[in-house]
Amino acid sequence: MNLSPQPPASLGKSLVLVVDDISKNLQVVGSLLRIEGYRIAPATSGAQALERVRAETPDLILLDRMMPEMDGLEVCRRLKSDPVTQPIPVIFLTASNEMEHLVKGFEVGAVDYVTKPFNPPELLARVRTHLELKHARDTILRYGQELSRLNEEKNEFMGIAAHDLRNPLSAIKGYAEMVVEDGESLVHGGVSNIPACGRELQENGQRIGDTAARMAEMVQNLLDANRIERGEMKLDLKLTDLCPSLNQVIETQRPRATAKQQTVHLESDAAPVMALADPNVTVQVLENLVSNAVKYSPPDRDIFVRLKSGAENVRVEVRDQGPGLSAEDQKKLFGKFARLSAKPTGGEHSTGLGLSIVKKMVEAMKGRVWCESEPGKGATFIVEFAKA
């Protein structure tokens, strides 16, 4: 769908409800508006005005303030209490210019007023201004509704596509493992010229497996982002010991760190360190932060992970000795699909979704996450979990 702004519809097609208990006033105002091309709906009482509104919703109401039985203030109050008629702009026609009376009109929901006897150019200018504002609001509302619909369709499509990719990617990873095993058999088979072929087979199988694993990570990130945006992330918040979770994450990431000659150091208060968190989501958050430290740190550097319990919260710090982050990178660090000037140091892949997911997950657990960094001095990612 093309969402580029379209030229506004002719204001001359707008319907203006004119409410006044004096017929001559209706005739004068009606004639002025008809000359400008507006459609007119007259009403001589508050009750009749409400009936007219129910029959056909006007684009604007010119409402006499002083009328018998039901005055203009009460009519406006009823209109603004109904969600259907609340958006209709109301301009009071009043013989009073006392501030107290004008304030009461605004308090019940009027957008403007014109004093009697009115000046025709002034009346027409105010009518046109508020009709233009209403048409602009209506257009924005329509665009907003359409964008919401398109966004929902996009989320649904992403969810279906990402979900349907998981099974074939798992199959590819399984076949890649079989290729690696076959290569190992050839390497150790002792047949002339076969070991070289076996090693090549191993390397190709490993490449296939690594690529499939990277794609699986991208799919999982898309699924997580989609789940969060649709409000489908279910949390099991409870007092959780973060020590086992953090140890699990570090042991999972240690082989990757070792392959880059990096050393991961853990400093922790004595167990248990209890925080209000979802155990599974917490592992995902911490794994992302430690994984990023490994991914963006140069080889042969140290990574420091610290777990500390405070008076009101539990803090996890992940500090690296990498190049640090520029001020520009820090501004967009937790944005969706963020593209940073800092790049992985070992050819690793980044979707730009990880930290945006981390932020939403942490905030959903009533915590907060941020980064402290200076160029050339590494980066420290800090997560604080509530204790209760």
Q: What is the CATH number of the domain that holds 367?
A: 3.30.565.10
Residue 329 backbone dihedrals phi, psi, to 5 degrees:
-65, -40
We report the CATH number of the domain holding residue 111 as: 3.40.50.2300
pLDDT, position 43: 94
Q: Are 101 and 72 in contact (CB under 8 A)?
A: no
Residue 48, class by beta-carbon neighbours within 10 Å (0-12 exposed, 13-18 middle, 19+ buried)? middle
One domain, residues 166 and 218: yes
In a domain, 44, yes or no: yes
Q: Would you state the pLDDT for residue 260? A: 93
Whether 343 and 301 share a structural domain:
yes
What is the count of structural domains for the chain?
A: 3
Are both 225 and 243 inside the same structural domain?
A: no
Domain boundary among 203, 229, 255: 229
Whether residues 311 and 242 share a domain: the answer is yes
**What pLDDT sits at residue 218?**
65
In a domain, 216, yes or no: yes
Write down the pLDDT at residue 302. Answer: 93
Same domain, yes or no: 271 and 363: yes
Between helix 120-187 and helix 194-229 the angle, nearest 10°, is 150
89-114 in b/e form (b: 16+ CB < 10 A) is: bbbbbbeeeeeebbeebeebbbbebb
CA distance 317 to 275: 15
Ramachandran assignment for 383, one of left (phi > 0), alpha (psi -120 to 50 degrees), beta (any other): beta
Report how far residue 331's alpha carbon sits from residue 325's, in angstroms, rounded to the nearest whole number: 10
pLDDT at 161: 67
Residues 183 and 208 in one domain: yes
> Which residue, 319, 320, 338, is CA-closest to 329?
338
223 and 298 inside one domain = no
- Summarised one tens digit per residue, pLDDT across range 25-34 is 999 999 999 9
pLDDT at 89: 95
Rounded Cα gap, residues 191 and 15, in angstroms: 92
> Same domain for 364 and 275?
yes
Residue 18 lies in a domain: yes
**Among 258, 341, 326, 327, CA closest to 294:** 258
- pLDDT at residue 329 in the model: 87
Please state, in angstroms and rounded to a whole number, the distance separating the CA atoms of residues 305 and 381.
10
Residue 138 counted as domain residue: no
Domain housing 182: 154-229
- Whether residue 143 is contained in a domain is answered as no
Asked whether residue 224 falls in the same domain as residue 265, the answer is no
- Domain-ending residue, one of 229, 254, 284: 229
**245 and 221 together in one domain:** no
Q: Is residue 135 part of a domain?
A: no
**Final residue belonging to a domain, choices 196, 229, 262:** 229
Q: Say whether both 253 and 376 belong to one domain.
A: yes
Asked if residue 137 belongs to a domain, the reply is: no
Q: Which two tokens stand for residue 178?
A: 């079989």
| Per-residue model confidence (pLDDT) at position 326 | 86
**Residue 251 CB burial class (10 angstroms; 0-12, 13-18, ≥19):** exposed
CA distance 330 to 101: 53
Backbone angles phi, psi at 94, to 5 degrees: -140, 145
Evaluate whether 219 touches 169 at the Cβ level (below 8 Å). Answer: yes
Q: So what's the pLDDT on residue 367?
A: 94
List the chain residues with pLDDT less than 70.
1-12, 157-163, 189-196, 214, 217-218, 221-222, 225-226, 229-230, 349-352
Query: Are 364 and 345 in contact, with CB atoms under 8 Å apart?
Result: no
Query: Strand 274-277 to strand 15-19: parallel, antiparallel, or no bridges (unpaired)?
Result: unpaired
Q: Tell whether 354 and 297 lie within a shared domain.
A: yes
Q: Which of 304, 299, 330, 308 lies closest to 318, judged by CA? A: 304
Contact 265, 317 (CB under 8 A): no
Q: Which residue has the tokens 């004639």?
A: 31
Q: Is residue 141 part of a domain?
A: no
